[in-house]
């Protein structure tokens, strides 16, 4: 995902530079309609470039501050079924679940990590806003309760959310 975003950002940068240069060239050549057209294209490219750069920054931040990485997980959104996700990364700042989910971004109305539950077979992360939530179930493979307690402590330290630990004997 990072390489694809970097390639996209770099391509947008090249297109933006070319568009700005063409805008200047058409303005100097006294062709105002073409200059206005390329100015509009430059503005659109600048907006897309900025969004891509922000997304790339968020992905890097999540990858560099990972708490947990699992090969597969299940995502359940209210009103929708379960979706299988491969290559999930959970961090202090959000999760990469095919798309990027950032906790604590967007002010009071933004997505937040609401609840964490750890049991013998899985970790369930509940995140979203007050009106729209989603649950992410991760199969963790932990066999010792001590490892689960360490993970609970990591989540508390890194995210500020205390994980509910239910570890019944098998």
Contact 118, 152 (CB under 8 A): yes
Selected from 3.30.530, 2.30.29, 1.10.3470, 1.10.150, the CATH number assigned to the domain covering 66-166 reads: 2.30.29
Residues in the chain: 170
What is the pLDDT, as a whole number, of residue 136?
A: 83
Contact 88, 134 (CB under 8 A): no
What is the pLDDT, as a whole number, of residue 79?
A: 59
What is the pLDDT, as a whole number, of residue 13?
A: 95
Q: What's the chain's Rg over C-alpha atoms?
A: 22
What is the pLDDT, as a whole number, of residue 62?
A: 86
What is the pLDDT, as a whole number, of residue 37?
A: 95
**Average pLDDT by stretches of 10, the chain with 170 residues:** 80 96 94 94 96 90 84 70 75 80 68 86 84 82 84 85 80
Domain ranges in the chain are 2-62, 66-166
Can you say how many angstroms the Cα of residue 95 is from the centroid of all Cα atoms in its chain? 5
- Over the chain, what HEC string results? CHHHHHHHHHHHHHHHHHHHHHHHHHHHCCCHHHHHHHHHHHHHHHHHHHHHHHHHHHHHHHHHCEEEEEEEEEEEECCCCEEEEEEEEEECCEEECCCEEECCCCHHHCCEEEEEEEECCEEEEEEECCCCEEEEEEECCCCCHHHHHHHHHHHHHHHCCCCEEECCCC
What is the pLDDT, as a whole number, of residue 94?
A: 83
What is the pLDDT, as a whole number, of residue 96?
A: 83
């Amino acid at each position: 995902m990072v390489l694809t975003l970097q390639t996209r950002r770099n391509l947008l940068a090249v297109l933006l530079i070319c568009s700005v240069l063409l805008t200047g060239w058409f303005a100097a050549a006294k062709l105002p309609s073409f200059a206005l057209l390329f100015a509009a294209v430059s503005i659109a490219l600048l907006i897309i470039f900025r969004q891509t750069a922000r997304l790339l920054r968020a992905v890097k931040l999540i990858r560099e501050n990972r708490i947990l990485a699992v090969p597969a997980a299940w995502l359940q959104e209210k009103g929708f079924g379960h979706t299988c996700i491969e290559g999930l990364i959970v961090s202090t700042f959000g999760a990469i679940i095919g798309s990027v989910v950032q906790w604590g971004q967007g002010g009071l109305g933004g997505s937040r990590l609401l609840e964490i539950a750890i049991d013998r077979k899985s970790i369930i992360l509940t995140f979203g806003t007050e009106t729209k939530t989603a649950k992410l179930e991760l199969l963790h493979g932990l066999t010792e309760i001590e490892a689960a307690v360490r993970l609970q402590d990591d989540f508390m330290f890194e995210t500020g959310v205390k994980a509910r630990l239910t570890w019944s004997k098998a």
